[in-house]
Amino acid sequence: MPAPFLLLLGAGGHDGAPYRESVLARIAAAHSVVLVDAAVPDWAARYLAGHIEADLTDAHDVAAAVKTFTADRDVCGVMTYMEHHVVTSAALAQQLGLPGSSPQAMAACRDKGVTRRLLDRHQVPSARALEADDAVQAVAHADTIGYPVVVKPRAMAGSAGVVRADTASEVRAAYERASHETVLGLDQYGPAGVLVEEWLDGPEISVETAVLGSGEARILAVTRKLPAPAGTTQEYGHVVAASDPLLTDAALARVIQGAVDALGLTCAVLCVEVMLTASGPRIVEVNGRLGGDLLPLLVQHALGIDLAQVAAALATGVPPQLEPTAGGAAAIRFAYPETSGVLERIAFPPGLHALPFVERAVISQEAGTRVSAPPHATLSDRLAHWVVTGESEATCRELLDEVASHLDISIATPAHAASCTR
């Protein structure tokens, strides 16, 4: 008998290989993966056992296509590593009687407004948040909450449209940006709307968490975010270390478990964003899928825990391997343009890839591309990224800086740079 298939919703698009391929490769190493998507990206084909053609923006089309496929084939699980499809994936798993959190729980993750209301109802430390229907109401909410505030879309990801605002005029501008900015086509999924939130002060982390059942959340890794320039909310990099003291921090564990319970999550690998404030850890967002930005790769190098395979195991009802098998550190850094303009040249030095601590170094843009610097930069303005491994967090931070010092970038600034915005 052939092995049952694991259905994967979405691969990540034809340009998704730099951030998605390593996750898909790990899932395919343990399962026969059938992709549910409109088309198969060239880079993904080698990892797949089959393809179900469906329009992922249409839940009914997806359900019908999967029903036809499963009429004469065995399926052992349904999963996704993409923010877009967490609700549809959960609904399919429920319809097929397969493991997974409820669609309602995943919808609560997708909608940051619902997340905030549930956290507040269950008294889980978070941020005060109010939904705004227009810029006037956004200013009124900011006045009520107190400045500074964060203005953000209800259902985006990758920091798209997330802006700190310190004045009423900044709130109005931030509202317009949050109302229109999108990333990776996420505007086709999830609710529209804008939130005005309390500003949480402190270092931000993400907590890679496995939910093994009702009331069973387990912290697998803690990701420290690299500092970003003032005025931007974009991610500039991450560090994961096996020796991080927060892995066994009781206060953090209580907040994570509280958030999982409040949202009703029972089976998933989550990326939970947390702010370490002076009053304790407070939830920023709960992402109902694997972390992006190659976080699973960092965790695998640092701790030996394969988050992609953990997620696949949970989706198929198999006990996952959660114990660390490594004791090091790994980190990633992203290069953004320092000025807006046209990219003339970008290159890593010859021989960089041969260095033992460089896991990868990837150029994201081609010469001739127009790019925007912070605070207008988005994910699409990333110029390059590189991953390093080392024995400690401090070592990895030094190695990231070493690589950055050798990255050759030239940007032609237009005569009127102030107008070069998005």
Q: Give residue-wise pLDDT tens across range 280-320.
A: 999 999 999 999 999 999 999 999 999 999 999 999 999 99
- Chain-centre distance of CA 351, in angstroms? 31
From CA 407, how far away is CA 378, in angstroms rounded?
Answer: 20
Determine the average pLDDT of the residues in 145-159.
Answer: 86
Q: Which of 55-64, 200-209, 230-239, 292-301 has the lowest mean pLDDT?
A: 230-239
Pick the closest to residue 306 from 3, 7, 26 (CA basis). 26
Q: What is the rounded radius of gyration, in angstroms, for the C-alpha atoms of the chain? A: 21
Torsion sign across C-alpha atoms 243, 270, 152, 381? positive
Assigned CATH class of 5-98 = alpha beta
Residue span(s) of the chain under CATH 3.30.1490.20 come to 128-198
Residue 350 DSSP code: T
User: Is 3.30.470.20 the CATH number for 331-422?
Assistant: yes
The pLDDT value given to residue 347: 96
From CA 244, how far away is CA 353, in angstroms rounded?
Answer: 28
The CATH number given to 202-327 is 3.30.470.20
Residue span(s) of the chain under CATH 3.40.50.20 come to 5-98
145, pLDDT greater than 80: yes
Q: What b/e readout covers 54-80, taking b as 16+ CB neighbours within 10 angstroms?
A: bebeebeebbebbeebbeeeebbbbbb
List pLDDT tens digits, range 337-359. Answer: 999 999 999 999 999 999 999 99
The C-alpha angle 397, 398, 404, rounded to 5 degrees, equals 90
Residue 364 DSSP code: -
Residue span(s) of the chain under CATH 3.30.470.20 come to 202-327, 331-422
Under the banding of pLDDT at 50, 70 and 90, the label for residue 422 is: very low
416, pLDDT greater than 70: no
Tokens for 153, please give them. Answer: 């879309």
The CATH number given to 128-198 is 3.30.1490.20
Tokens for 364, please give them. Answer: 């994201």
Answer yes or no: are the C-beta atoms of 325 and 304 closer than 8 Å: yes
Q: What is the mean pLDDT of the chain?
A: 93
Residue partners of 358: CB distance under 8 A and separation at least 6: 352, 386, 387, 388, 403
Residue 352 DSSP code: G
Extract the runs of DSSP E, i.e. beta strands, from 226-371.
Answer: 237-241, 268-277, 280-287, 329-335, 341-347, 358-363, 370-371
The C-alpha angle 382, 385, 386, rounded to 5 degrees, equals 170
97, pLDDT greater than 90: yes
The pLDDT value given to residue 264: 98
Higher-pLDDT residue of 180 and 2 is: 180
